[in-house]
């Protein structure tokens, strides 16, 4: 057994492992940057002005999953917009004001929709 040759071989293996780790770190960094650019390009810029009507996306609606139930609630009125993306909105029915993320809002262009449930008896038809 040649201890100096074995030691030299072990140092080369350690250097290879360190180089492999450095390449993996660099590849992970590049992958994160690329996916961040991809996701940032998918974010749609929305500009809201006070007085506009908006709809609010309800992402917590999965308690009672239903294909026909809308995930958008509203309309709400924009009270104030902040530079970092938060928007203060006011419920038109209860006049309660609260802040939400601007990415959860979209412009409301339609008229008022009556969302009261109605039952139709099909036996009479």
Q: Do residues 56 and 99 lie in contact, with contact meaning Cβ atoms separated by under 8 Å?
A: no
Task: Note down the domain range covering 36.
Answer: 1-43
pLDDT for residue 117: 63
Q: Is residue 48 part of a domain?
A: no
Clarify whether residues 102 and 59 are in a common domain: yes
Clarify whether residues 25 and 59 are in a common domain: no
Q: Do residues 85 and 77 lie in contact, with contact meaning Cβ atoms separated by under 8 Å?
A: no
User: Does the pLDDT of residue 124 top 70, yes or no?
Assistant: no
Q: Do residues 105 and 54 lie in contact, with contact meaning Cβ atoms separated by under 8 Å?
A: yes
Which carries the bigger pLDDT value, residue 67 or residue 12?
12
User: Does the pLDDT of residue 67 top 70, yes or no?
Assistant: no
> How far is residue 75's CA from residue 60's CA, in Å, rounded to a whole number?
18
Q: pLDDT digit string (tens) for 83-115?
A: 888 999 999 889 999 999 988 999 998 865 555
Clarify whether residues 72 and 100 are in a common domain: yes
Q: pLDDT digit string (tens) for 10-61?
A: 999 999 999 999 999 999 999 999 999 999 898 777 889 999 999 999 877 5
Q: Is residue 120 part of a domain?
A: no
User: Does the pLDDT of residue 120 top 80, yes or no?
Assistant: no
> How far is residue 86's CA from residue 73's CA, in Å, rounded to a whole number?
18
**pTM of the model as a whole:** 0.54
Residue 64: pLDDT band with limits 50, 70, 90 = low
């Amino acid at each position: 057994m040649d201890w100096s040759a074995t030691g030299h071989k072990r140092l080369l293996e350690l250097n290879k492992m360190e180089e492999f780790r450095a390449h993996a770190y660099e590849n992970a960094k590049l992958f994160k940057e690329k996916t961040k650019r991809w996701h940032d390009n998918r974010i749609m810029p929305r500009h809201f002005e006070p007085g506009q009507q908006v709809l609010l996306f309800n992402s917590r609606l999965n308690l009672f999953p239903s294909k026909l139930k809308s995930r958008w609630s509203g309309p709400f009125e924009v009270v104030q917009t902040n530079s970092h993306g938060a928007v203060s909105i006011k419920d038109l029915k209860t006049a309660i004001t609260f802040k939400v993320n601007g990415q959860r809002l979209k412009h409301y262009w339609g008229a008022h929709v009556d969302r009261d449930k109605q039952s139709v008896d099909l036996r009479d038809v």
